[in-house]
Structure 1
Amino acid sequence: MAAAIAETPTGKMPILMAVCLAALVLPLSFSGGAVATPAIGADLGGSPTALNWITNAFMLTFGSSLMAAGALADQFGRKRLFMTGIVAFAVLSLALSLAPSILVLDILRAGQGFAAAAALAGGTAALAQEFEGDARTRAFSLLGTTFGVGLAFGPLLAGFLIELFGWRAIFLSGTIIGALSLLLTAKRMRESRDPDAIGLDRSGALTFTGTLTLFTYGVIEAPEIGWSHPIVVLALLGAAAMLAAFVLVETRSARPMLDLSLFRYPRFVGVQVLPIATCYCYVVLLVLLPLRFIGVGGLNEVDAGLLLIALSAPMLVVPLVASYLVRWFSAGVLSGTGLMLAAIGLFWLGRVDPASSGMAVVLPMLLIGVGTGLPWGLMDGLSVSVVPKERAGMATGIFSTTRVAGEGVALAIVNAILAGLAKARLAAVIPQHGEEVAKAAQRLAMGDVRGASTVLPNLTESEIHESYAVAFQHLSIVLIAITVISALVIFALLGRAEAKTSEAGGEAFKPNQSTARTEP
């Protein structure tokens, strides 16, 4: 990181710092919100579903609007969209720090996701215009490192802020960082546009957002009101209809938001599996584990943040190691091997008592972090190297959307699975309380042991802890299965002998006349 800063042209240093500040606050918003959820629930109340939306609302809007934000940046100006996004993010962060209820907070978090997408899309596009050649590589390397720092130390910073000032300070910090970013870019960043931009693919953006929104809503509501409830059934059917409409719109569009023809390349399909796999073996843990450490293990926010460093700190080192290892091993083999290591870590973590701390949880989290770090450091480069050069821009957009949107969907699915497993375990212990068991399971999935005890006062605390331990162990099996299957797919699609040739953009990926289209 120091080398990248030292070699950055002095006049462009403030621009790079501004975009990196924006990149820092995004993972802080993600992981910080997860750490703050128990404190927010204690202060504002709210059902487990409402508390789930604290994180899911942000990830849903962020993921669904990222591609659309990139198109708007090309049309209306990269600097304009970046600054608009930062201003909106700072204002919404201030409003979040003053939120009077959980409903208002969830709504503001959704707005914050849209603002984050605008800031990230505008900022990265602006960096690409400001820097060229090796300087551009160094700038984006520093940007990626900043993301890693935010993920690694976000929970710890959030813990300190909550301990010293309360949960509202987490969102207020977004306002402060946003203001600093604006001061650095207001006069220094150049405006740039794509003169050939034809605007936003509105039909594609609406159907894509509708698909994610309806699916996430249905999955989050299902554990509380039941999978057969008309609202849940209609939401999931609506998501399926929206997805079909999205595919139809994109295949007929002359300038689609997502060019689905890229999925004709098997290796490109393999690359899309990588962010999905890391969602289930790593990203969901950034939300689940703080709730576990605080609500089930009884730790305070600072101690929970310190423990989570074991999970995220490898992201600062392992991706760099992976970039050297590709000299001797294919990226597909390294990525698949990393996922298998993460699966072993998940197996280990699933058998640790939820009340444990120290090395008992540090070692499996370190193994998960190291394993995930191998594909994490390679998949961005793979996303553009496994398709013809003229398709690289669209490939990057699809990959980014898969990564961010997949995180929101994975969180919703995993929370629903954990609630369902907790319900099954509690029902086996106390079968005569059907409705109360469902409510207690929702509380337990959020790590709220006290809330579960209040709903089921006949159960002892040890029985509730055991129910959570069994549910989490069974959840780990689901996560392991997804991770291992993903690793096998990666080995099959990206681990072949010709990997080095194709990763270099060789003839193996030269499109035929029926699929070739030049991106702007």
Structure 2
Amino acid sequence: MLVLVAVCCAALTAPLAFTGIAVGLPAISRTLGGSPIQLNWAINAFLLIFGSTLMAAGALADSYGRKMTFLAGLAAFSLLSIGLVFVGDIIWFDVLRALQGLAAAAAFSGGMAALAQEFDGTARLRAFSIVGANFGIGLAFGPVAAGWLISTFGWPAIFALLAVLSLVGIILAAIFMRESRDPTASGLDWKGAIAFTLALTALTAGVLQAPESGWQDPVVVVLLLASVLLFAAFWLVEKTVARPMLDLTLFRFPRFVGAQLLAIAPSYAFVPLLVLLPTRFIGMEGMDEISAGQIMVALSAPLLVLPVAAGLLTHWFAPATICAGGLAISAVGLVWLGEVPVGTEPATLIGPLIVIGVGISLPWGLMDGLAVSVVPKERAGMATGIFSTSRVAGEGVLLAVVTAVLSAFTSANLGAVAGDHADAVAQRLVTGDLSEAAMLVPTVDKTALMHEFSDGFSTLLWLLSGITILTALIVFFFLGRSHETVEEIEEEAEFAANASMSSDEMGSCGQT
């Protein structure tokens, strides 16, 4: 049980490292300065490196030990958090955030893989649901905690809290976690890891640069083209390497594909709101950090209870039904939120935020357990790595995409009043810098700028709602409507693995 507590401590750090910075971004901007792109990297650098290295970290955990990987990652995360307390430049801040993402990937992959060895069957599903609930605690109270810390001690206090949580996890894991590894693991697929990380980096950099330079800018075009070529290179590497970081044969099975689609869904149905809403509340509507954090509780509070409740609901409903139904509820909440303009009384936001939070909480409690259950127990590190990569890399890339789309919608709305400055004004508004945006077009009233941003925000939420509904339908059919037990799912995964191994052996004989 204390091993579960150690992993839960690590699980708390991830949402705090994300939501805390979202609330603190205006304060960080006032202290460290920086352009809109540099401020976006303060969040995206962490998510990008975290997501792109999770599969590699999972492979290292399988090969060299889950406990060792967990402890090394958590120790590095703690040291980097302390470094961020004293950083004095936005560039170095972004660099340390990227390194912090690498450390978080090692801690998360090692911890989740170690946890999979401690429990079996339904007990494992419950354990992962508890981790999901703790992640929800970080999301629910992260904005409030960050707001209070910023108001009382300043934004560096967020990283001091992360360092303390990491230290607690290190002590518990060092004493109670047992070492485990995959005896058949053959080390890290370095070529695949490098190609995948560079591909995601190029894609994210291109999407972030596009609102400022334009989608036809040569730098943007080169970055996006490079990402396509690097993803193709990654696919070729994974098809030819003896022990791939990503087993492509798993994508033959609808349940595995459904689990990955489910992992990506919060990247557009929930996560963007964790960044865009605090920026809107503080930068556009003039709230203080504590007030903004309190409103955000309505969005994240359902994650305190419902992930565990979703696990209990599997006694009566198929996981596919629960997950698809939750996504449909989130879509309704997104439409409702889109009808609430910027500047409205904060109390009117509580209803739609609760609906979105309730909807996303239902699949949240089942995601990790389903991900681990679709592969044999010995490949737990790979399973958590693939699933977490889909989730976190999706969050990083899609957050950049959503921000760029919001900037494009806002710029289009501003065309009539801001003229040639529309793009620059839109970027400032999206990052919550209303004062700087108004300085670019001094003849335009701030109220008019807020109105055009509000219309763009509403259009974005309608788009995200439609994508979420489509995802719900696909997940419903791919995960299957039958009520399968965890043991039956594992038997299916074992069969899939054996079929894959037989195919590989036949291929090897043919080559011989």
TM (norm. structure 2) is 0.92
Match of 2:172 in 1: 184
Question: Is the 1:81–1:118 contact (alpha carbons within 8 Å) kept by the matching residues of 2?
Answer: yes
Amino acid at match of 1:457: P
Distance 1:167 1:49, change over 3 A: same
Amino acid at match of 1:145: A
Distance 1:458 1:99, change over 3 A: same
Superposed counterparts of 1:148-297, under 5 Å: 148-297=136-285
1:488 aligns with 2:467: no
Distance 1:388 1:69, change over 3 A: closer
**How far does the alpha carbon of each residue in 1:37-70 deviate from its partner, in whole angstroms, 9 at most, with x for none?**
1111111111111100011000000011111112
* C-alpha separation in 2, matches of 1:190 and 1:385: 21
Distance 1:209 1:154, change over 3 A: same
* C-alpha separation in 2, matches of 1:42 and 1:288: 18
Question: Is the 1:297–1:356 contact (alpha carbons within 8 Å) kept by the matching residues of 2?
Answer: no
Give the one of 396, 402, 409 matched to 1:414: 402
* C-alpha separation in 2, matches of 1:488 and 1:428: 39
Question: Is the 2:58–2:382 contact (alpha carbons within 8 Å) kept by the matching residues of 1?
Answer: no
* SS at 1:200 equivalent: coil
Match of 2:489 in 1: 505
* SS at 1:505 equivalent: helix
* SS at 1:504 equivalent: helix
Counting helix residues as a fraction of each chain, which structure ranks higher?
2
1:42 aligns with 2:30: yes
* SS at 2:402 equivalent: helix
1:72 aligns with 2:60: yes
Count of paired positions: 503
1:313 aligns with 2:301: yes
Match of 1:3 in 2: none
Which deviates more, 59-68 or 121-130?
A: 121-130
* C-alpha separation in 1, matches of 2:268 and 2:256: 20
Distance 1:505 1:275, change over 3 A: closer
* C-alpha separation in 2, matches of 1:345 and 1:28: 24
Match of 1:118 in 2: 106
Amino acid at match of 1:349: L
Give the one of 448, 457, 462 matched to 1:477: 462
Match of 2:89 in 1: 101
Match of 1:343 in 2: 331
Which deviates more, 217-226 or 132-141?
A: 132-141
How far apart are 1:83 and its partner, in Å? 2.1
Superposed counterparts of 1:367-406, under 5 Å: 367-385=355-373, 394-406=382-394
* C-alpha separation in 2, matches of 1:16 and 1:389: 18
* SS at 1:32 equivalent: helix
* C-alpha separation in 2, matches of 1:512 and 1:179: 38
1:324 aligns with 2:312: yes
Relative contact order higher in (CA < 8 Å, ≥ 6 apart)? 2
Which deviates more, 255-264 or 271-280?
A: 271-280
Which deviates more, 177-186 or 478-487?
A: 177-186
* C-alpha separation in 1, matches of 2:116 and 2:326: 30
How far apart are 1:131 and its partner, in Å? 5.7
Q: CA RMSD in A?
A: 2.5
* C-alpha separation in 1, matches of 2:491 and 2:177: 39
* SS at 1:378 equivalent: helix
Question: Is the 2:317–2:483 contact (alpha carbons within 8 Å) kept by the matching residues of 1?
Answer: no
Give the one of 339, 353, 365 matched to 2:341: 353
Question: Is the 1:385–1:504 contact (alpha carbons within 8 Å) kept by the matching residues of 2?
Answer: no
1:447 aligns with 2:447: no
* C-alpha separation in 2, matches of 1:179 and 1:391: 28
How far apart are 1:91 and its partner, in Å? 1.4
Identity %: 52
Amino acid at match of 2:240: R
Which deviates more, 392-401 or 32-41?
A: 392-401
* C-alpha separation in 1, matches of 2:173 and 2:488: 36
* C-alpha separation in 1, matches of 2:314 and 2:95: 44
* C-alpha separation in 1, matches of 2:478 and 2:63: 36
How far apart are 1:182 and its partner, in Å? 3.0
Distance 1:500 1:180, change over 3 A: closer
Distance 1:205 1:98, change over 3 A: same
How far apart are 1:180 and its partner, in Å? 3.1
Amino acid at match of 1:239: S
* SS at 2:82 equivalent: helix
Which deviates more, 129-138 or 208-217?
A: 129-138
* C-alpha separation in 2, matches of 1:468 and 1:157: 28
How far apart are 1:189 and its partner, in Å? 3.8
* C-alpha separation in 2, matches of 1:518 and 1:394: 19
Distance 1:90 1:185, change over 3 A: same
Distance 1:195 1:378, change over 3 A: closer
* C-alpha separation in 2, matches of 1:178 and 1:512: 35
Amino acid at match of 2:302: P
